[in-house]
């Protein structure tokens, strides 16, 4: 059976409520048309989640992803949002450890591990999308593999998954995000194999060699399909997913034979 391609549209801290609704409504017909081949999870900013959830009810192939969550389910943590709250709203996914949070909010691997542990301890299901990737400096120092391995190992330390629980890994080299300089699909293909190996080992080799691995970093409609052909399960897209023309073009090209 052909695998269903997974596309996450990360709208970051962009788009007003009105723009968010217009874009979500605008891409819905394309999602419905290609829904047998792909699933789109939209990641709007927190105040827009409910608007996107309302529209997403028109297709099971449109899902909603939060951009972050906290590592406790409730308590005196002003400004934070718990995974339980997101799951209750209807979010299916949540980004964890996006590089912009690691850079601007100083999120550490230890914080990321706590978030994953909190999510996997829940009764309700919400799928974390764990983002990993090396910086320009780390790449130049030839440390890319070591960094990815270290980030995955630290984030997954002590984590166990029940059979109903899933994990998505988004490999997003920091130097490729928003830079217009993506990693080549071939390089990504080799990384995806290594990442699946690391994840499998982190879980003690327990049947997780098939983990879902996405590529992110300056993906465009012209390049998106090549990451799937190279062995990825889909893409995580920022800039090019925030306009109706390029977002619908991304869906179409991802689903090309
Ligand atoms: P980009 O962002 O597609 O604009 O490079 C990707 C991301 O940050 O998830």
Ligand 1 centre distance from Cα of residue 99 (Å): 10
DSSP codes joined into one string, 64-89: EEES---SSSSSS-TT---HHHHHHH
Q: Is 174 helix (H, G, I), strand (E, B) or coil?
A: helix
The answer for residues whose C-beta is within 8 angstroms of residue 113's C-beta and 6 or more apart is 154, 155, 156, 157, 158, 159
Atom of ligand 1 nearest to the CA of 176: 5
What is the predicted pLDDT for the residue at 88?
A: 96
Q: Annotated catalytic residue: which of 100, 107, 134, 172?
A: 172
What is the predicted pLDDT for the residue at 202?
A: 86
Residue with tokens 């990825």: 232
Atom of ligand 1 nearest to the CA of 241: 3
What is the predicted pLDDT for the residue at 162?
A: 84
Helix axis angle, 109-120 relative to 144-156, nearest 10°? 40
**Among the listed residues 178, 233, 236, the one whose alpha carbon sits nearest the alpha carbon of residue 5:** 233
Under 8 Å between Cβ of 136 and 174: yes
Q: What torsion, rounded to 10 degrees, do the Cα atoms 70, 73, 76, 79 define?
A: 40
146 is catalytic: no
Considering only CA atoms, which residue is closest to atom 2 of ligand 1? 238
Considering only CA atoms, which residue is closest to atom 1 of ligand 1? 238
98 is catalytic: yes
The answer for residues whose C-beta is within 8 angstroms of residue 139's C-beta and 6 or more apart is 173, 175
Give the integer Cα–Cα distance in Å for 153 and 156: 5
Ligand 1 centre distance from Cα of residue 176 (Å): 8
What is the predicted pLDDT for the residue at 132?
A: 98
What is the predicted pLDDT for the residue at 210?
A: 67
217 phi and psi angles, rounded to 5 deg: 130, 95
Q: Annotated catalytic residue: which of 93, 98, 100, 107?
A: 98
Considering only CA atoms, which residue is closest to atom 3 of ligand 1? 238
Task: Please check whether the domain covering 5-254 is classified as CATH 2.30.31.10.
Answer: no
Atom of ligand 1 nearest to the CA of 239: 4
Q: 67-125, pLDDT tens digit by residue?
A: 999 999 999 999 999 999 999 999 999 999 999 999 999 999 999 999 999 999 998 88
Low-confidence ranges of the chain (pLDDT < 70): 1-2, 205-210
Give the integer Cα–Cα distance in Å for 43 and 235: 13
Contacts within 8 Å (CB) and 24+ apart, 196-204? 198/148, 198/149, 198/152, 198/153, 199/152, 199/156, 199/167, 199/169, 202/152, 202/153, 202/156, 202/157, 202/159, 203/156, 203/159, 203/160, 203/161
Q: Where are the domains of the chain?
A: 5-254
Pocket of ligand 1 (CB under 6 A): 10, 172, 177-178, 216-219, 236-240
Ligand 1 centre distance from Cα of residue 129 (Å): 14
């Amino acid at each position: 059976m052909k695998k269903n391609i997974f596309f996450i549209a990360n709208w970051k801290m962009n788009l007003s409520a009105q723009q968010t609704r217009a874009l979500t409504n605008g891409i819905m017909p394309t999602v419905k048309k290609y829904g047998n081949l792909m699933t789109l999870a939209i990641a709007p900013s927190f105040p827009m989640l409910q608007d996107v959830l309302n529209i997403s009810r028109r297709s099971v192939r449109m899902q909603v992803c939060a951009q972050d969550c906290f590592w406790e389910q409730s308590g005196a943590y002003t400004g934070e949002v718990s995974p339980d709250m997101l799951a209750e709203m209807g979010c299916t996914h949540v980004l964890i450890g996006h590089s912009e949070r690691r850079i601007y909010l100083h999120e550490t691997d230890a914080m990321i591990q706590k978030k994953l542990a909190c999510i996997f301890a829940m009764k309700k299901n919400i799928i974390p999308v764990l983002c990993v990737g090396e910086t320009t400096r780390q790449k130049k120092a030839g440390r890319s593999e070591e960094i990815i391995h270290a980030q995955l190992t630290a984030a997954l330390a002590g984590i166990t998954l029940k059979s109903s629980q899933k994990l998505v890994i988004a490999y997003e080299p920091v130097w490729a995000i928003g830079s217009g300089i993506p990693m080549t699909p071939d390089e990504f293909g080799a990384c995806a194999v290594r990442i699946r190996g690391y994840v499998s080992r982190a879980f003690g080799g327990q049947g997780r060699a098939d983990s879902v691995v996405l590529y992110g970093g300056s993906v465009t409609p012209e390049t998106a399909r090549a990451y799937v052909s190279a062995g990825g399960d889909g893409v995580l897209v920022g800039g090019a997913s925030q306009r109706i023309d390029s977002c619908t073009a991304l869906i179409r090209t991802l689903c090309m034979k």
